[in-house]
Every structure is written in structure tokens, then in C-alpha cells.
Amino acid sequence: MDLWDSRIAFAEQEAVDRTFIHSFEPAAQNPVAGPTVALSTQEIEDAGIREVLQTPGAGLGSWSVLNALLQPTGAGTPFIFREPLGQAREVKVALSGLFGRFVARAYLERYFGLSVFAHLARSTIHLNRRRRIRIEKRHGERGDLPDWISCSAGMTALTVAEAKGCHDRLGPTQTLARAWRQAGRVNVYAGNHPVIPLKRVAIVTRWGAARGGAPEPMLAVHDPEDEGDATPPEDMDALFVGLLRLHFAGLLGPLGHSGLANELSELASASFALSERQASARARRALEDAPVREISPGASEDAFDGLVGGLVTRAGPARTAILSQADQETLARLDLRPTFVGIERDVLRLAISGEPTEIRKAMAGVSRKSAIARPDRAGGWIVPLGPDLGTLKDA
């Protein structure tokens, strides 16, 4: 077996599917045939990496422990933890909610085709302030906002999503009702009109445990679509470009590119044409100044113009911008799971320029393959580092 084949074997070993009992409403739109839905721990961990980076205040690599917590029953078996997630109620709630977000995001990525995620951390979030395109909490609503506003890499399928985890032995019904109410607490507007089409999705993961918990894991989804007159295409394009900029800003800030992240966010919230042009110029300069990395040996059969990003370990994002190959191997040997998270520089250039047609061409263009690096369909890559895995070098 040569080195390429050994890498493929490693990736396949990490990507085995585990199952959840699956319920979906409305049933006619169920994206999954059969009573169960499958996700791999690799998909959940990849979603967890991106989620931890984009969630304010979440720094530790809690995405990296799933395999160690599961019953070692192998591929195609239920997603059963060895024991419940903690004993004290506050620990169960915290871990259940966090892991629930990882599972829900992986589910949305695999079965809904979503790749672009921005967190709803404020009651008003601008996607294009000049066109008055924004996400707003509904007047008079109280309580937490939903987790995400999301879309596909091809800038379709606008979705508001809320994820929860629960341990209720009777099932996820009550938690799903709360999640659905939360998903309805915001509207997306273009001017004074709600954006249509818009999906609202509530996803609840009821955990199963081999000892001391509910016996079966369940994934329950509620997914109707808002109805009404369709929003004009030019407003939808501006919305999707703003959402892509916020997605990249959320990833790049924790990876050591705060200047570029700030300018991408400023592009979404600029009030005037002049301030938008100035933010665009600053963002281009920040991108040109950002160090560019390549994966060595070639992780992709199709060349692309380097990656802008940073290193993440079990302890969170690394402060060191450049690591030698020996350092990368040391982190891997200590089981700190060194992982590079990067975005293609060409895709970042297009997000700054804001040309929706060119962005769609780039997202739908070359299909890249890798034995180790894992793409997210929106210009992002996750690269595990270490012996027989990926090695980073300057481009």
C-alpha cells in the first residue's frame, strides 16, 4: 500500500457512519429514506471545529472527543454514548446543547446541502445595510434567538435553524416544540418586506447511552417553509453575499486574521457607497498581507491558490502563526489533534468583490479531491496534521 492509499484508508476509517432514529415533519419533504439517519463522527467533528471557531467564547476543542465517548460498536450502529453526558444537570445541559449543535450542523451540511453559517448573536444583524437587508428579532418576542442563518455554497436555500440536545426518555417532542418557537423569533427583511423563500428548521438530538440514560438516540426535525411573494433576485444576491462574508469573518477572526474578519463584517454593515468602497479596499489589503499556506504533499489533484487560515488543537486555536514540520508532528504525537482550518484565497477575493455570478461559478467549478484534507463546498478546508497526514508549508 503506497502513501496515498494509506491516507485514503485512514480517512475511510475515521468516516464510518453511526445512526439515529429519524423523524421529519413534514414527512413529504423528508430528505432521508427509511427510519434512520446516518452521520459519521468525522462529519460531526468537522462541523464542531467550524462551530467552535464561529461561536463567541467557545475555545476548547470539544469537537475532538466524540469517538472516545461512544460505545465502540462500529460502523452502521446507533450513536450511543457509553454513559450520559455528565451527572449534574448543568453539565448535562451544557454538553448536550453543544454536542447537539455539532450534530445538527453536520446534519444540515450533509442532508440539506448547507455550507455557509452565520450565528445570530444580536437582535439585528445587517447583511447589506445599504439595501436594508437584515435579520431582526420579531417585535415583542422574548427569549433566545435561533442559532444560525445559513445557505448553500451556491447561494440558495436560505435557512434559519435552531439546534437543541436533550436526554428525555420519553423522546424529543417537548424540546422540539421549544426549538421550533425559537426558530420563529427572527425575520429576514429586504427593505420592509420579509424575504421569501425562507426555511425555518428546528433540530433536536435525543441522546442515547448504554448505561444510565435513554436507550436509543433520536434526531427529530421540523421543517416547513415560509410562504409569500418571492424576494427580487438582486436583493437575494446581496443577501447571500453578505451572509458569505459573515461566514468567513466568523471563521477567520479566531484563526488570527482579525483585521480581515473585521473588514468583511464592515462590508456587510457599511451604510454608504463610500464606506463600502473603503472597507473593500482595506479588506483586499488585509488579504494580500495574510500568510498563505499550502498542503504538502499535494492533498488536492487540482491546484488552487493557497489557504488563508490557522491551526486549531484540542486546546483551541493556536497563537503561533507558523509551525515547523517537527512541531506539527509533536502536537500529533501528544494527541492534541493539530488541524489546519483554511479558506481558499481566490474565494475570499470573490467574497470581497461581491460579484454573485462569479462566486457561484467558483463554488460550482472544479471538484477537488483529497485523501486527507476535507472541503466544505464553500472554499473551506479542514486538514489534519501529523505523520502520514498533512503537512503545512508557506505558499
- Could you tell me if 110 and 43 are in contact, meaning their C-beta atoms sit under 8 angstroms apart? yes
Task: Answer yes or no: is pLDDT of 94 > 80.
Answer: no
pLDDT at position 395 is: 65
Q: Are residues 134 and 241 in the same domain?
A: no
Q: Residue 348, CB half-sphere, CA atoms under 13 Å: how many?
A: 30
Task: Answer yes or no: is pLDDT of 283 > 70.
Answer: yes
Q: Read off the C-alpha cell for 75.
A: 460502523
pLDDT at position 235 is: 96
Greatest Cα pair distance, the chain, in angstroms, is 63
Sign of CA dihedral 358, 360, 365, 371: positive
Of 86-90, 166-170, 281-285, 375-379, which gets the smallest average pLDDT? 86-90
pLDDT at position 259 is: 95
Enumerate helices (H) and strands (E) in the chain, giving the number of each: 11, 20
Residues 336-392 pLDDT 10s: 888 889 999 999 999 999 999 999 998 886 556 677 788 898 999 998 888 777 676
Task: Answer yes or no: is pLDDT of 237 > 80.
Answer: yes
Q: Are residues 290 and 210 in the same domain?
A: no
Helix (H) or strand (E) holding 175: helix 173-183
Q: Are residues 253 and 131 in the same domain?
A: no
Residues 289-313 pLDDT 10s: 999 888 765 444 444 558 999 988 8
pLDDT at position 60 is: 56
Q: Are residues 204 and 283 in the same domain?
A: no
pLDDT at position 67 is: 77
Q: Are residues 257 and 204 in the same domain?
A: no
Which of 174, 200, 232 is a domain's end point?
232
How many folded domains does the chain comprise? 2
pLDDT at position 343 is: 94
151: containing domain: 3-232
81 vs 242 pLDDT, higher one: 242
Residues 19-59 pLDDT 10s: 999 999 999 999 998 999 999 999 999 999 999 888 865 55
**Mean pLDDT for the stretch of residues 233-262:** 95
Kindly indicate the confidence band of residue 226, based on its pLDDT and cuts at 50, 70 and 90. Answer: confident
pLDDT at position 338 is: 86
Which of 204, 232, 260 is a domain's end point?
232
Kindly indicate the confidence band of residue 2, based on its pLDDT and cuts at 50, 70 and 90. Answer: very low
Of 31-40, 46-55, 156-165, 232-241, which gets the smallest average pLDDT? 46-55
* Strand extents, DSSP E, 236-335: 293-296, 307-313, 316-317
pLDDT at position 263 is: 96
Q: Which DSSP string do the residues of 113-148 spell out, in sequence order?
A: -EEEEEE--SSEEEEEGGGTEEEEEPTT--SPPPSE
Q: Name which of 51, 37, 177 is nearest 105 in CA terms.
A: 51
Q: Are residues 147 and 163 in the same domain?
A: yes
Q: Are residues 212 and 240 in the same domain?
A: no
Average pLDDT, the chain: 86
Q: Are residues 296 and 187 in the same domain?
A: no
The proportion of the chain whose per-residue pLDDT surpasses 90, expressed as a percent, equals 56
Reported pTM: 0.90
pLDDT at position 272 is: 92
Q: Are residues 342 and 204 in the same domain?
A: no
Task: Answer yes or no: is pLDDT of 154 > 70.
Answer: yes
Kindly indicate the confidence band of residue 9, based on its pLDDT and cuts at 50, 70 and 90. Answer: very low
134/127 Cα distance (integer angstroms): 5
Q: How far is CA 118 from CA 11, 88, 163, in A?
A: 28, 31, 14
147/203 Cα distance (integer angstroms): 11
Q: How far is CA 307 from CA 11, 189, 277, 364, in A?
A: 21, 34, 25, 18
Q: Name which of 270, 233, 56, 51 is nearest 158 in CA terms.
A: 233
The proportion of the chain whose per-residue pLDDT surpasses 70, expressed as a percent, equals 87
Q: Are residues 156 and 302 in the same domain?
A: no
Q: Are residues 218 and 242 in the same domain?
A: no
pLDDT at position 1 is: 37
pLDDT at position 7 is: 41
pLDDT at position 14 is: 57
Which of 171, 200, 232 is a domain's end point?
232
Q: Are residues 361 and 216 in the same domain?
A: no
Kindly indicate the confidence band of residue 8, based on its pLDDT and cuts at 50, 70 and 90. Answer: very low
Task: Answer yes or no: is pLDDT of 273 > 50.
Answer: yes
